[in-house]
Amino acid sequence: MKREIFVVIVPRLTTKNLEVNQKLIKLLEKFEQEKNVTPAQISLAWLLAQKPWIVPISGTTK
């Protein structure tokens, strides 16, 4: 699939959304440094905080 078509299909890849996402990434990087944690640890903590019946399966890649 050509990149141009993919960008149209995936709203996260629009220029406006990429700018917003970059700001969020910078905020998360700052948080990681302050708390001395990894992106994976933040991801797991966020996932666990969503619903009590959501259980992450460690070792999965997708």
DSSP secondary structure letter of residue 14: S
57 in any annotated domain: no
| Residue with tokens 């709203």, as numbered in its chain | 11
38 in any annotated domain: yes
CB 58 within 8 A of CB 52: no
pLDDT by residue (tens digit) across 16-52?
Answer: 888 888 998 999 999 999 999 998 889 889 888 998 8
42 in any annotated domain: yes
pLDDT of residue 52: 84
pLDDT of residue 27: 92
Looking at the structure of the chain, the number of domains it has is 1
pLDDT of residue 62: 65
46 in any annotated domain: yes
Domain of 23 in residue numbering reads as 3-50
Other Cβ atoms within 10 Å of 7 Cβ, number: 14
Model confidence at 2: pLDDT above 70 = no
61 in any annotated domain: no
Is pLDDT larger for residue 8 or for residue 16? 16
Rounded to an integer, what is the distance from CA 46 to the centroid of its chain? 10
